[in-house]
Amino acid sequence: MMSSALLAIQSTNPIALTPNELWVINTFFYVIAAVGIVAALKMVTTKNVVHAALYLLVVLTVVAATYIVLGAEFAAATQVMVYIGAVMVLLLFGVMLTRAKIGDDGDLDYDSKWIGGLSAVSMFAVMGYSLWEAFGTDELPADMAVQRTGQVANSIFSQYIVPFEALSMLLLAALIGAVVVARRD
Amino acid sequence: MFLNQFLFFAAILFSIGVYGVLTRKNGVLVLMSIELILNAVNINLVAFGALHQDISGQVFVLFVIAVAAAEVGVGLAIVLLIFRNRRSINVAEADLLKG
């Protein structure tokens, strides 16, 4: 049985957005999406490893903002804390511990880039075609409710409790595994 | 808001990530490109969660983020080990399995 407090958290009353508000949100999304795509392209083409990490930071921030646009507040907060806070620090550690060249490094890419380019472009062509065929101009519901953190917690600790516990074991195993692999003996 | 504007954004990020994995020689940069791919998938999950007004999308995003954190931890440990043994993290040079 769910207590009344939990029910109160769950009863978000959706408010339909006015066309004006929708226009502002849409424009915001297109601007940040453009920034994110440019940063992602710079990330895979830059010759400086540290710059690549900083471009990845921009992309991760854009993704967090996209979660906010879609009304997923807890996912956005987790994205900022785990990715921007922890994973980025880990990646920068990796850059520094492997003594990456300071400044530009000419030897970061394979010589034959066309294989990767062809794979990426054809993959995007297939995905774009099937997405357009499947969803066309489908709209998200105009009275889209913000998905509250309380709802996420209820879902994790009822429906998804077994995967959640399995995930905690996985994290423990990965922690021990990383220490065992990387230690000097 | 169209559903496809988010799905296409995710598809573009995914393709850029695939390009990065296939063209980068540096092990750390390959790991970064994998993070890009995982983020693209997460955008899809959140978008479909918003379309169906279902919380499961967001829950799966949290699971993916946790698995990605574990992956980057173990991945960097392996990259550091390769660096210690070979003084280089060029993944093209790690070819011990080649006959």
What is the predicted pLDDT for the residue at A99?
76
HSE toward the beta carbon, residue B17, CA cutoff 13 A:
21
Question: B57 is in which domain, residue-wise?
Answer: 3-90
Query: What residues of chain B lie within 8 A of the CB of A97, using their CB?
Result: 80, 83
User: Quick check: A87 and B35 in contact, CB under 8 A?
Assistant: yes
**Of B30, B29, B26, the residue nearest B90 (C-alpha):** B26
Q: Which tens digits make up the pLDDT trace of B32-64?
A: 999 999 999 999 999 999 999 999 999 999 999
CA A153 to chain centre: 20
Within a domain: residue B74? yes
| Three-state SS sequence of A77-121 | HHHHHHHHHHHHHHHHHHHHHCCCCCCCCCCCECCCCHHHHHHHH
Supply the pLDDT for residue A1.
Answer: 45
Cβ B11 vs Cβ B40: under 8 Å: yes
Tell me which chain B residues have a C-beta less than 8 angstroms from the C-beta of A140: 1-3, 47, 50-51
Distances (CA, A) of B95 to A106, B45, B85, B89, B90: 21, 36, 13, 12, 10
Query: What pLDDT score does A38 carry?
Result: 97
pLDDT at A76: 95
pLDDT for the residue A175:
92
| B56-97 tens-digit pLDDT | 999 999 999 999 999 999 999 999 988 888 888 888 887 888
**Residue to substitute from B13, B23, B79, B90, interface A, most A β-carbons within 10 A:** B23
Cβ separation of A138 and B61 shorter than 8 Å?
no
For residue range A10-42, list pLDDT tens digits in order: 545 556 778 888 899 999 999 999 999 999 999
Judged against a pLDDT cut of 70, whether residue B29 lies above it is answered with: yes
Task: Tell me the whole-structure pTM to 2 decimals.
Answer: 0.90
Q: Domain count of chain B?
A: 1
Residue A12 tokens, joined: 């978000």
Q: Which amino acid belongs to residue B6?
A: F
Q: Which of A44, A95, A131 to mutate to test the interface with B (most CBs of B within 10 A)?
A: A44
- Say whether residue B16 is in contact with chain A using an 8 A CB cutoff: yes
Chain A contacts in chain B segment 36-65 (CB below 8 A) = 36, 39, 42-43, 46-47, 49-51, 53, 55-59, 61-63, 65
Answer yes or no: is pLDDT of A104 > 90. no
Q: How far is CA B84 from CA A97, A98, B90, in A?
A: 10, 8, 12
ipTM: 0.92
Shortest alpha-carbon distance between residue B95 and chain A (Å)? 15
* B98: closest CA of chain A, how far (Å): 18
Residue A109 has pLDDT above 80, yes or no: yes
Residue type for position A14:
P
| Topology of domain A4-146, CATH | Four Helix Bundle (Hemerythrin (Met), subunit A) (1.20.120)
Confidence of residue B1 (pLDDT cuts 50, 70, 90): confident
> Quick count: other Cβ atoms within 10 Å of Cβ B93?
12
The confidence score (pLDDT) of residue A106 equals 76
Interatomic CA distance for residues A128 and A49, integer angstroms: 30
Contact B65 A78 (CB under 8 A): yes
Quote the CA–CA distance of A135 and A161 in Å, as a whole number: 32
Listed by start position, the domains of chain A span 4-146, 148-185
Answer whether B74 sits within 8 Å of A181, measured CB to CB: yes
No. of helices (H) and no. of strands (E), chain A: 8, 0
Task: List the CATH number of the domain containing B14.
Answer: 1.10.287.3510
Tens-digit pLDDT profile for residues A148-185: 899 999 999 999 999 999 999 999 999 999 999 888 77
Query: How confident is residue A107, by pLDDT bands cut at 50, 70 and 90?
Result: confident
The reply to whether B96 falls in a domain is no
Task: Give me B74's structure tokens.
Answer: 């173990």
Structural domain contains residue B61: yes
- The chain-wide mean pLDDT, for chain A, equals 87
CA gyration radius, chain A = 21
| Of residues A52, A113, A121, nearest to B29 (C-beta) | A52
Bigger pLDDT: A146 vs A102: A146
3-state secondary structure A18-35: CHHHHHHHHHHHHHHHHH
Percent of chain A with pLDDT over 70: 92
